[in-house]
């Protein structure tokens, strides 16, 4: 048909119909796409006979476009052609032309739709396999640990039994020595507490960890990991050096998962020392902040024979193990790497030679993690009513509860564990309110605010502390421009009203 | 697309003969043939191909270009769906490839029946459909597609 020949060789199926919806023009690809022929179209030009939609009324759409003289675009619909089984997913555009004609353009999105569905189902399968793998590894690790632990539970139970037999003996004596009875009782209590600790650690380790992140002190996780593993290795006289940092080192992770990584590292170190028969076996674990690289660094060092250079690249691969059959699944390091990578951290061999091996785990500081974690949770981040609130506190429980309250109020929460880290963050990120603990190691609240005021003298700041800092607050508030004090322990309403008041009227001071 | 692709290969002198069956799609695996790379000539038989999509076309184009410019490549018994792709996609039939035979749609008006007739490329002169008699009668059949478009691939 004249005027449409320019469409002849386009790769989209195009047809033009008259007001009876009979085809008056079609391009080459329309014939190919509809598996029809010029003869068939000539014989029966009714468009609606060629194109069959299950959930789309083509005739109505054509009628509406003709009547309203307004182009229409459909959603994705399924099309079967000439009654054939195979269907396509298409988007239809109907264009109103002059002379009561309509142009129909079909966009075939079948391949994209199928690939997308395939991708989604494979992703679900992958996630499920990953979870199963994680659980399998945990259970495999538990299997190994349980043998050692069941042996170790025997020791305190034997001591407890001995203690209770002593008490029985002392009570049968003519004169009851209360001091002896008390001592034996203390012995029983301590032993049973040790058993409870062992079992409690085991339970929390076994339970499938949901993907719940929280602020936690890595030093505590290290201690839990040591307790879990030391019940197996204590008998081998491995000396353990836990270099505990002076202050809390916080990270935003799933506690169970990070504990799992620590257990894997410690267990591997123990196994390496045992296998090598190392004299005076030692494992040192240390934790520090690397402010230049914006991360926490956890080191696990043993004095074993080292890992041969040719297998150092292999140890993070799934199912790679140098342990004897039945002693390891070869999944521990692969899963540990996966978990740490999930938190945008890294795990690698820092050093390995004949004097021993050191693994280093780097995790982002909570300032970075909390921005990316919380940005995803806040709706309408670009909305002016959503404020960014920085909370500086070295106690993870405070950060966890403040995060919960501030998220409930619909704002973006950023956590920081200390003044130095918070100042570094403020150099890059603008915040609307700062809430700072007063008593912090290295830099207290007043020192922190003094430095903040050199960068920004307008941002509203609240102190968060106990009632005993009221006098310091009164002294410092005017000098430092502190807007208010939230007293611990606080409720959700205390936080809402302090922040709400600040954000509606920044000129008024607020004291709780 | 749910069909999988079956690939049968045999080597005759320095020629690799490949029979393809099923669907050429995103899951198509040509590794069996890739393993026979570097041979002098290849013959691909598309007689039993029942489906092809744009992902399959991409897979095919990448695979056939990996055989190299020096290999002689021939396509045999190309189904209509293959011809349609050849006419649309650059690279489906590279410079060193030719189509020896293909199916073309014809229609017998007397019997009101469609036929797919196997033609050789040499049968088509100046992109005109050759005269073909109905296999079930003796009347000449009508070519049942747009000649200029269908025979566009013929060099």
C-alpha span between A404 and A407 (Å, rounded): 5
B115 and A CB contact within 8 Å: no
Residues of chain A numbered 12-31 and touching chain B (CB < 8 Å): 28-29, 31
Chains A, B: CB contacts within 8 A come to 28
A122 and B CB contact within 8 Å: no
Quick: pLDDT tens for A213-234.
Answer: 889 999 999 988 887 777 555 4
> Residue A149: what pLDDT?
62
Q: How far is CA B75 from the centre of its chain?
A: 5
Q: Which CATH homologous superfamily contains domain A5-108?
A: PAS domain (3.30.450.20)
> Residue A234: what pLDDT?
46
Which residue carries 């909370």 as its tokens?
A: A391
B133 and A CB contact within 8 Å: no
C-alpha span between B20 and B37 (Å, rounded): 17
What fold does the segment set A368-511 form as a domain? Answer: Rossmann fold (3.40.50)
Half-sphere exposure of A168 (CA within 13 A, CB side): 6
> Residue A122: what pLDDT?
87
User: Considering only CA atoms, which of B57, B99, B104 is closest in space to residue B80?
Assistant: B104
C-alpha span between B16 and B32 (Å, rounded): 11
> Residue A506: what pLDDT?
45
- Retrieve residue A431's tokens: 């915040």
> Residue A414: what pLDDT?
92
- Retrieve residue B18's tokens: 């490949």
Q: Do the Cβ atoms of A397 and A438 come closer than 8 Å?
A: no
ipTM of the complex: 0.79
B118 and A CB contact within 8 Å: no
**Structural domain count, chain B:** 1
Which of A10, A12, A30, A39 to mutate to test binding with chain B, by most B CBs within 10 Å of its CB?
A39
Angle between helices A218-233 and A178-206 in degrees, nearest 10:
110
C-alpha span between A451 and A158 (Å, rounded): 58
Q: What is the pLDDT along chain A (512 residues), one digit of tens a residue?
A: 668 888 988 889 999 999 999 999 999 889 889 888 899 899 889 988 888 887 889 999 999 999 999 999 998 888 887 666 667 889 999 999 988 899 999 999 888 888 888 888 888 888 888 888 877 877 776 775 675 466 557 667 877 888 899 899 888 888 888 888 998 898 888 778 777 766 765 565 556 555 678 899 999 999 888 877 775 554 557 888 888 887 888 999 988 788 888 988 988 898 888 888 888 899 999 999 887 888 999 999 999 999 998 888 888 876 677 766 555 556 678 778 888 988 889 999 999 999 999 999 999 988 877 877 777 665 555 667 788 999 999 999 999 999 999 988 888 899 998 888 899 888 888 889 999 998 888 888 889 999 999 887 788 999 988 877 788 788 888 888 888 888 888 888 888 888 887 777 543 443 33
Please give the model's pTM, rounded to 2 decimal places: 0.50
Half-sphere exposure of A6 (CA within 13 A, CB side): 1
- Retrieve residue A388's tokens: 């960014």
Q: Do the Cβ atoms of A159 and A187 come closer than 8 Å?
A: yes
CB-count exposure of residue A293 (10 Å: 0-12, 13-18, 19+)? exposed
Q: Across the strands, what pairs with A241? A: A284
Mean pLDDT across chain B? 89
- Retrieve residue A493's tokens: 């309403």
Looking at domain A213-364, its CATH class is: alpha beta
C-alpha span between A163 and A191 (Å, rounded): 9
Which residue carries 């609606």 as its tokens?
A: A48
Quick: pLDDT tens for B113-146.
Answer: 999 999 999 999 999 999 999 999 888 999 999 8
Q: Do the Cβ atoms of A437 and A398 come closer than 8 Å?
A: yes
- Retrieve residue B38's tokens: 């570097």
B77: CATH: 3.30.750.24
User: Considering only CA atoms, which of A458, A350, A466 is closest in space to residue A398?
Assistant: A466
Domain extent for B126: 5-153
Measure in Å the smallest separation between the Cα of B17 and chain A Cα atoms: 29
User: Considering only CA atoms, which of A300, A496, A302 is closest in space to residue A408?
Assistant: A496
> Residue B77: what pLDDT?
96
- Retrieve residue A442's tokens: 């290295």
> Residue A79: what pLDDT?
87
Q: How far is CA A270 from the centre of its chain?
A: 29
Q: How far is CA A465 from the centre of its chain?
A: 30
Phi, psi of A238, rounded to the nearest 5 degrees: -75, 130
A111 and B CB contact within 8 Å: yes
Q: Do the Cβ atoms of A459 and A401 come closer than 8 Å?
A: no
C-alpha span between A289 and A417 (Å, rounded): 11
> Residue A351: what pLDDT?
94
Q: What is the DSSP letter of B70?
A: S
**Taking CB atoms and an 8 Å limit, are B145 and A31 in contact across chains?**
yes
C-alpha span between A349 and A312 (Å, rounded): 8
> Residue A209: what pLDDT?
53
Measure in Å the smallest separation between the Cα of B10 and chain A Cα atoms: 32
Measure in Å the smallest separation between the Cα of A11 and chain B Cα atoms: 8
Q: Across the strands, what pairs with B118? A: B103
Residues of chain B numbered 73-102 and touching chain A (CB < 8 Å): 84, 88
Dmax over CA atoms of chain B, in Å, equals 50
Half-sphere exposure of A174 (CA within 13 A, CB side): 0
Quick: pLDDT tens for A418-439.
Answer: 888 899 888 888 889 999 998 8
| β pairing state of B97-99 and A388-392 | unpaired
- Per CB-CB distance under 8 Å, the chain A contacts of B145 are 31, 37-38
User: Considering only CA atoms, which of B79, B98, B117 is closest in space to residue B155?
Assistant: B98
CB-count exposure of residue A142 (10 Å: 0-12, 13-18, 19+)? middle
CATH 1.10.287 for domain A128-208, yes or no, is: yes
**Taking CB atoms and an 8 Å limit, are A111 and B55 in contact across chains?**
yes
> Residue B9: what pLDDT?
87
C-alpha span between A389 and A374 (Å, rounded): 11
C-alpha span between A401 and A299 (Å, rounded): 30
Separation of first and last alpha carbons in chain A: 82
> Residue A128: what pLDDT?
86
A32 and B CB contact within 8 Å: yes
Q: Do the Cβ atoms of B44 and B99 come closer than 8 Å?
A: no
pLDDT tier at B90, thresholds 50, 70, 90: confident
Where are chain A's structural domains? Answer: 5-108, 128-208, 213-364, 368-511
């Amino acid at each position: 048909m004249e005027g449409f020949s320019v469409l002849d060789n386009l790769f989209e199926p195009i047809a033009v119909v008259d007001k009876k919806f009979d085809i008056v023009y079609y391009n080459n690809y329309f014939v190919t796409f509809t598996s029809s022929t010029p003869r068939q179209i000539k014989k029966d030009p009714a468009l609606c006979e060629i194109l069959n939609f299950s959930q789309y009324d083509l005739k109505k759409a054509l009628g509406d476009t003709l009547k309203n003289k307004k182009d229409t675009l459909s959603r994705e619909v399924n099309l079967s052609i000439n009654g054939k089984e195979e269907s396509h997913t298409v988007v239809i555009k109907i264009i109103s032309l002059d002379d009561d004609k309509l142009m129909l353009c079909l966009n075939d999105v079948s391949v994209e739709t199928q690939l997308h569905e395939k991708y989604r189902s494979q992703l679900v399968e992958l996630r499920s396999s990953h979870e199963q793998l994680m659980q399998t590894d945990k259970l495999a690790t538990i299997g190994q640990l349980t043998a050692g632990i069941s042996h170790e539970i025997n020791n305190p139970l034997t001591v407890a039994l001995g203690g209770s037999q002593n008490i029985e003996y002392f009570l049968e004596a003519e004169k009851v020595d209360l001091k002896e009875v008390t001592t034996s009782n203390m012995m029983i209590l301590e032993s049973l507490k040790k058993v409870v600790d062992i079992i409690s650690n085991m339970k929390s380790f076994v339970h499938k960890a949901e993907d719940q992140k929280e602020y936690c002190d890595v030093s505590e996780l290290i201690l839990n990991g040591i307790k879990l593993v030391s019940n197996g290795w204590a008998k081998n006289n491995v000396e353990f050096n836990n270099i505990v940092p002076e202050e809390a080192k916080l990270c935003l992770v799933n506690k169970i998962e990070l504990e799992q990584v620590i257990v894997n590292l410690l267990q591997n170190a123990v196994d390496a020392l045992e296998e090598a028969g190392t004299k005076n076996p030692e494992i040192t674990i240390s934790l520090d902040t690397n402010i230049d690289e914006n991360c926490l660094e956890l080191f696990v060092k043993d004095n074993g024979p080292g890992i041969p250079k040719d297998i150092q690249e292999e140890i993070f691969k799934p199912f790679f193990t140098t342990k004897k059959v039945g002693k390891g699944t070869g999944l521990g390091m692969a899963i540990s790497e996966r978990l740490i990578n999930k938190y945008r951290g890294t795990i690698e061999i820092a050093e390995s030679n004949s004097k021993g091996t050191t693994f280093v785990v780097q995790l982002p500081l909570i300032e970075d993690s909390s921005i990316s974690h919380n940005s995803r949770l806040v709706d309408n981040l670009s909305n002016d009513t959503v404020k960014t609130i920085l909370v500086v506190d070295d106690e993870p429980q405070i950060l966890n509860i403040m995060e919960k309250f501030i998220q409930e109020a619909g704002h973006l929460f950023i956590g920081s564990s200390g003044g130095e880290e918070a100042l570094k963050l403020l150099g890059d990120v603008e915040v609307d309110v700062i809430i700072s603990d007063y008593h912090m190691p290295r830099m207290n609240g007043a020192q922190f605010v003094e430095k903040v005021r050199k960068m920004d003298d307008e941002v509203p700041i609240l102190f968060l502390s106990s009632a005993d800092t009221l006098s310091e607050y009164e002294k410092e508030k005017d000098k430092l421009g502190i807007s208010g004090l939230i007293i611990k322990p606080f409720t959700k309403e205390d936080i809402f009203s302090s922040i709400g008041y600040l954000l509606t009227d920044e000129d008024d001071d607020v004291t709780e | 697309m749910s069909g999988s692709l079956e690939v049968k290969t045999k080597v005759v002198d320095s020629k690799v003969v490949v029979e393809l069956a099923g669907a050429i799609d995103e899951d198509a695996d040509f590794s069996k043939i890739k393993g026979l790379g570097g041979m002098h000539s290849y013959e691909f038989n598309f007689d039993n191909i029942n489906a092809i999509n744009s992902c399959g076309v991409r897979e095919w184009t990448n695979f056939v270009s990996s055989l190299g410019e020096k290999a002689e490549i021939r396509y045999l018994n190309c189904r209509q769906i293959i011809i349609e792709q050849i006419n649309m996609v650059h690279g489906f039939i590279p410079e060193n490839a030719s189509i020896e035979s293909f199916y073309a749609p014809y229609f017998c008006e007397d019997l009101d029946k469609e036929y797919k007739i196997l033609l050789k490329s040499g049968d088509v002169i100046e992109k005109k459909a050759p005269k073909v008699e109905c296999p079930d009668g003796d009347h000449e059949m009508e070519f049942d597609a747009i000649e200029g478009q269908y025979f566009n691939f013929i060099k």
